Amino acid sequence: MAQVFMFDALREATDEEMERDTSVFVLGEDVGHYGGSYKVTKDLHAKYGDLRVLDTPIAENSFMGMAIGAAMTGLRPIVEGMNMSFLLLAFNQISNNAGMLRYTSGGNFTIPIVIRGPGGVGRQLGAEHSQRLEAYFQAIPGLKIVACSTPYNAKGLLKAAIRDQNPVIFFEHVLLYNLKEDLPDDEYIVPLDKAELVRQGNDVTIVTYSRMRHHVIQAVKDLTKDGYNPEVIDLISLKPIDINSIAQSLRKTHKLVIVEECMKTGGIAAEIIAQVNDNYFDLLDAPIVRLSSQDIPTPYNGTLEKATVINPQQIIDSVRRLILQ
């Protein structure tokens, strides 16, 4: 076991898969000589050269289209978005091409592409650099979406995503890159479609993902001191949502709190609520509680920015109210 930062865990996964399979390559802005904005591709250019670690112009729609074409011809591209917000410029390619070509070609083409990079609310990055795009991509048929939350699952998920035959949107949170964790020396893979049971409990089910996992864990430490026993699930897979794991937990707790950094309107929590109400409504003893970011552009001002995102105290207060009602 060795302590590894999340950005290094992602770099290790990329390096190992590039070494294992010569069809894997990386492209994006500053991924080569500079080593990536958050150093996820550090030193890979020196090892693999220009043809497998490609520095691109600032033209997301162009290099996304090139990557999808490469995937159609048998390569396995990893596209790094310098910030996931910038990939809105490539939304047409991601939706109409990456998501749909396997279907519209009658299965003649597969699109084994990974689209990864930093997102989420950072620290005073401004509205256009603080996007949470998971809700944008959720409705696109043909995509898989995952959100890593620890160095361990970041490495295992990225390796699984690179090997998958489908397009995978891979969300990393900008504030988690310096998270550190012991990783096994042996190779491991984390499944793309399974939630992680972070903590067992029987009072209430708390479902979360990405950076909010750590806010929930912080809140749970205080809740357990007061005698509460929450169960915590990290979604990991945002599309498809592992609704069976949520239902299994609800059979014990009968109460559900969803914590996300995504906006409330049309967010991941909204989809979970719809699926639970459609299929598992009888398991609920109380209305579902949804804790989401406010439906406004993220302010640059640090105090206002903080006020838009769910914090541990809000989670504590909501869980207490739900259990006591």
Positions marked active-site? 60, 129
How many alpha carbons lie under 13 Å from residue 8 in its C-beta half-sphere? 10
Cβ 231 vs Cβ 199: under 8 Å = yes
Q: How far apart are CA 173 and CA 119, in angstroms?
A: 5
Task: State which H helix or E strand residue 12 sits in.
Answer: helix 6-20
Q: How far apart are CA 284 and CA 252, in angstroms?
A: 10
Q: Is 259 left (phi over 0), alpha (psi -120 to 50) or beta?
A: beta
- Single-letter code of the amino acid located at 18: M
Residues in CB range of 216: below 8 A, 6 or more apart: 198, 206, 208, 232, 259, 312, 315
| Cis amide linkage into residue 297, ω under 30° from 0 | no
- The residues facing 144 across adjacent strands are 168
Q: How far apart are CA 161 and CA 217, in angstroms?
A: 26
Closest CA to 120 of 99, 135, 139: 135
Cβ 145 vs Cβ 172: under 8 Å = no
- Single-letter code of the amino acid located at 256: L
Strand ranges (E), 81-167? 114-119, 144-147
User: Measured at the alpha carbon of residue 212, what is the angle toward residues 210 and 213, in degrees to the nearest 5?
Assistant: 75
Q: How far apart are CA 109 and CA 262, in angstroms?
A: 33
